Amino acid sequence: EDKATTIYSYDGNGNHTKISRQIPGETESATYEYDGLNRITQVVYTGGSRDGQEESYSYDAGGNRLSKVNHNGTTSYEYSSDNRLLKTTAPQGVTNYVYDGGGNMITKTGPVNTFHYQYNSRNLLIGYQDSNNNVSYLYNGAGHRVAKTVNNVTTRYINHINFGLPQVAFETDDKYVVKRYYSYGLGRTAAYDWGALDKDKSQYYLYDRPGRNVTATEDSLGKTRNRYKYGSFGENFSSQESYSNDFRYTGEQTESDTGLIYLRARYYDPEIGRFISRDPFSGYMSVPESQNMYAYAHNNPLKFVDPSGEC
């Protein structure tokens, strides 16, 4: 219905310096600046719904974000000596974070709500509760997620295992009756509701570049179903949905009930730009930024992704 053209510019280190996206009736651009460690420090938007908005970030020597400044104001971040986020102070209030002995976030207490997280002995997230949701997760012996239950409604996942990383092939109900299945090419290409291959029961994924962020979905006639815009670290800037879809930022499963993104070994929280549990991989001594067990994509998520959740 409305095809997009995206143009990318880079610096000598391969960092994105400008991304311009054009669709009929709108052109939006973002320019980016980096520090000496190739971490994003500033974003300036021109055109579109974010015209004139700016974001800036600062970090400590360990790769922890110290501040974020945007049109809403300044958010500051405080950490423990082992890089656990302990407190954020934002215009809307203070949020405190508590961890278990394994370094997993177990409570997040904000100005309005408290979020609770539970883990198994392998440090995989198995439970989540807030004032509206009670969520549980089930994994197989390989640590791949095979079921999710939200307020007593269960979805089971049957995964492809021949893509390097497990990818959802089928979604079923608790009795293994297929509800939706997915096709793949260079990444996920389409989702179909079982038993109804018509324009009203399918959607096709559009990406800003191959294998990265889902920016829209279309039906079989090319009519737009959903649209998505993201912040620099995957925050939901805006979304318009007429058809259910979990696969969004970096093409991975976004948990609408928790706000987290499932990246297999761990879950990523785009609102704080970091994982909620430690990296099971200890990093490389020759790559100091990999020694931070919670940082996401070396604080440069335009260039790097972490689909396995393991550095």
Please name which of 33, 68, 27, 16 lies closest in space to residue 49, comparing C-alpha atoms. 27
Cα 156 from Cα 139, distance rounded (Å): 10
* Long-range contacts of 244-251, Cβ-Cβ distance < 8 Å, separation of 24 or more: 245/191, 245/203, 245/214, 245/217, 247/188, 247/191, 247/205, 247/214, 248/213, 248/214, 249/213, 249/214, 250/212, 250/213, 250/305, 250/307, 251/187, 251/188, 251/205, 251/207, 251/211, 251/212, 251/213, 251/214
Q: How many CB atoms lie within 10 A of CB 137?
A: 20
pLDDT digits (tens, 9 = 90+) for 153-200: 999 999 998 788 999 999 999 999 999 999 999 899 999 998 755 557
pLDDT digits (tens, 9 = 90+) for 1-22: 557 899 999 999 999 999 999 9
Percent of the chain with pLDDT over 90: 87
* pTM of this structure: 0.96
| Segment 285-295 mean pLDDT | 90
Q: Are 88 and 75 in contact (CB under 8 A)?
A: yes
Residue partners of 204: CB distance under 8 A and separation at least 6: 189, 190, 217, 218, 219, 220
pLDDT-wise least confident of 9-18, 23-32, 59-68, 280-289: 280-289
pLDDT range class, residue 26, cuts 50, 70, 90: confident
69, pLDDT greater than 70? yes
